[in-house]
Structures are given as C-alpha cells and as structure tokens.
Amino acid sequence: MTCSRDELAQKLAVVQRGVSTRAAMQILSGILLRSEGGQLHLAATDMDISLRASLPATVESEGSVVVPGKLLTDLVRQLPAAEVRIEHGAGDGMLLISSGASVSRMNTYAAEDFPRLPEVENVQLHALSAGAVLETINRVRRAASRDESRPVLTGILVRFEPGKLVMAATDSYRLSVKETPLEESVPEMEAIVPARALEELARMGAGATVLELGVRENQVIFGADGVWLTTRRIDGQFPNYRQLLPEDFAHVVTVNRLELLEVVRRTSVLAPRTSPLRLRFAEGELVVSAQTHDVGESRESMPISFSGEPLEIGFNAEFLRDGIDSVEGEELKVNLISPLRPGLLRGTQGDFSYLIMPIRLAG
C-alpha cells in the first residue's frame, strides 16, 4: 500500500492524540491501520475517547494491524520522500515502511486485540456551525475540574435548546456558563461530555466550518473535516447552574477588561496558588495587591467608577485571570455582594457568566 507522506503525517498527528499514555494496556498505545477500498483508515483510543481519520491510498491487499502510535507518527514525519509504502503480511509481526532510500521495520500488535470502537455509520448526524460550537467550548472549558474523584465535574454540560447552545463547566470553585445562538435546527438534547473530549474537538475542528454531531446510546460523536471523535457520556447529575448564579448584587462595577487583566497578571506574580489576590474597591479606585510572607508583596491601582463603603475581597489569582480572559469585549462587569459571597464576571453582551468563589482574607 502506498500513500502521501504529508497526508499520512497530518492524519497521524491528529489521531495520535487519542493514544493512551497509561502503560496498563499496551495495545492502547498503538494506532490501528486498516487498508480497505482505496483508503487507509487510522484509529486510536484510550477507552474514554477515540479518534479516527482516513486518507486516500493505493491498496494492493486489504488488512489491519496495530502499530506503536508515537513511534509511527515521529517516523513518518521524518521520511525523505513524498510517498510512503507500507507493507504487512498476514501473521507477520513486523511492519515495513519505506520512503525513498529510507527503510524501517516496526514491531506490531494484533488487530484482533484492539478495542471495538463505537460505530459512526447509521447514526443520525446534525450539522452545526463550527465557529459557534468551538467558541462556546473555549469560553467555558477552563472551569472544568481535573479531579477524577468527582467525575461529573470533569465534564462539560452540553445542552441544545430551541435556537441556542448552552455549555456550563464548574470545579466547585468557579462556574462558567455560555449561551450561543444557533441558526441550525437541532433536537433538544443534554449530555455531560468529558472536558478533554471537547478540548480535542476544539483542536481538531479549528479549521472547519461545519461540525457534525450524533448521539448513540451512551456515546457522543463529533465529525470535522473527515476526522471523527467519539466519547462516552458521563453519568450523573450536573449541578443546577441556574440556581448558583445570584440575581441581585450590592455593586456592579464596570472596568476596562484588558487593563484589569494586565494589572491582575502583574500583581499575581507574587501570589502563589495558596495565597489570595486582594481586590479593594473604594471611591474611584480599585487596588489589586498580593502579599506572601516568604515571597514578597505587590500592589497596583487603577481608576474605576465606584462609590459607597469600601469593599475588599480575595480571589484565587489563576481563577480570576481565567475569568477575565474568558470574557469578550472591552468592558467587564464585576458584580459583587459581599467579601464572603461569590463574585460574578460578565461582558456587556450578557451571554457569558463566570462565577468565582472568594477566599476569606486574614485581618
């Protein structure tokens, strides 16, 4: 079988991201190669997500084999000629890869041992604007938890409602919610999708104009430019994000978003993860400060429109940066109730909310 080196390298780079990094099952560190009907099909899975792609090939005999994923990807990227020839005989434990004067042999795994992946065929698919879906993912994904002890929070709630897409993510310290209008007609649906799967979707669909979505039992299927991602749905009850968003605030302060982001970035250099960033709102001024006994201290002020009794509140510096960065537009609305109640960040459009829990300040 022969195919284009560049096309093979491109598709391997995408699929290889589905390869498992855990050493428990060696077969999951491989990429399944299947030659059939003028196509070379590639697939990888870590049992949570799977990635599949195909490319045109001159197929002399059909067959399947599993090859170590990272090694194959690294090798193909370095091959000297524009065309690659891949040979594998039935029952042969080696794969022969030749390109120009380069000839390599790689150990293989049996294709029969590779997990059976969810079928993409015969699934009803719905076309969606890639821009709308990917923007929504990128706005909320940072709030998803990385703590595997609470699986529901490692996912992003995806809801299709009439005329809009809603995504929400929380790690119990912050909450992101984004509503995006949809022109396409999509059946109402709700699923908790692993954040990692949606991050891979954002990566693989970056150049696409259309995404395809399908649901099959406990699996969600996404397609973009001939690449298919399947992922399991997370079972469980996602927190009721609507109940978590306060409706009334003591202060709504409008600030220049990029100016505040720069002030927070500079000041938080001296605020390690365990140390809060202090925000003191006073008449006409916001003072952002950090003080850590074994590191040092930093302080910077910026003019704002604020009146009334001063209010001082502490936030995790990283979470605050993420929130400000996730809002779009020149202006940021900082909604506050009290030093011990969550703060809410919103843009002027009102389609995105970022709730952040405060840190109790000493003194």
* For the chain, percent of residues with pLDDT exceeding 70: 99
CATH architecture of 2-113: Roll (3.10)
Report how far residue 361's alpha carbon sits from residue 363's, in angstroms, rounded to the nearest whole number: 6
Query: Positive or negative CA dihedral for 172, 250, 318, 143?
Result: positive
Common-topology check for domains 126-241 and 245-356: yes
Range in 65-69, 149-153, 182-186, 278-282 the model is least confident about: 182-186
- Give φ, ψ of 227 to 5 degrees: -105, 135
Model confidence at 294, in pLDDT bands (50, 70, 90)? confident
The full set of domain ranges for the chain reads 2-113, 126-241, 245-356
Mean pLDDT of 288-313: 91
Contacts of 87 (CB under 8 A, 6+ apart): 1, 95, 96, 98
Provide the CA 48 distance to its chain's centre, in angstroms: 14
Q: What's the chain's average pLDDT?
A: 93
What's residue 69's pLDDT?
95
Taking the C-alpha atoms of 298, 304, 310 and 311 in order, what is their torsion angle to the nearest 10 degrees? Answer: -70
Residue 265's SS3 state is: helix
The band of 363, judged by pLDDT with boundaries at 50, 70 and 90, is: low
> Could you read off the pLDDT of 20-69 as tens digits, one per residue?
887 678 899 999 999 998 999 999 999 989 999 999 999 988 899 999 99
Predicted pLDDT of residue 119:
83
- What is the arithmetic mean of pLDDT over 289-308? 90
Q: Is 337 exposed, middle or buried (CB count within 10 Å of its CB: 0-12, 13-18, 19+)? A: middle
**DSSP helix/strand/coil, 138:** helix
How confident is the model over 66-75, as a mean pLDDT?
96
More confident residue, 271 or 74: 74
CATH entry 3.10.150.10 includes domain 126-241: yes
The pLDDT score that the predictor gives to residue 23 is: 65
**Residue of 137 and 297 predicted with greater confidence:** 137
| 215-271 pLDDT tens trace | 888 899 999 998 999 999 999 999 999 999 999 999 999 999 999 999 999 999 988
- In 86-194, alpha helices (H): 130-140
pLDDT at 92 over 90: no
At the top level of CATH, the class of 245-356 is alpha beta
d(CA 12, CA 25): 20
Listed range (179-188, 223-232, 306-315, 337-346) with the worst mean pLDDT: 179-188
Q: Tell me: pLDDT of 358 over 80.
A: yes
Spatial strand order in the sheet of 251-256: 189-194, 155-161, 164-170, 174-181, 352-356, 343-347, 331-336, 251-256
Q: Is the separation of the CB atoms in 212 and 186 below 8 Å?
A: no
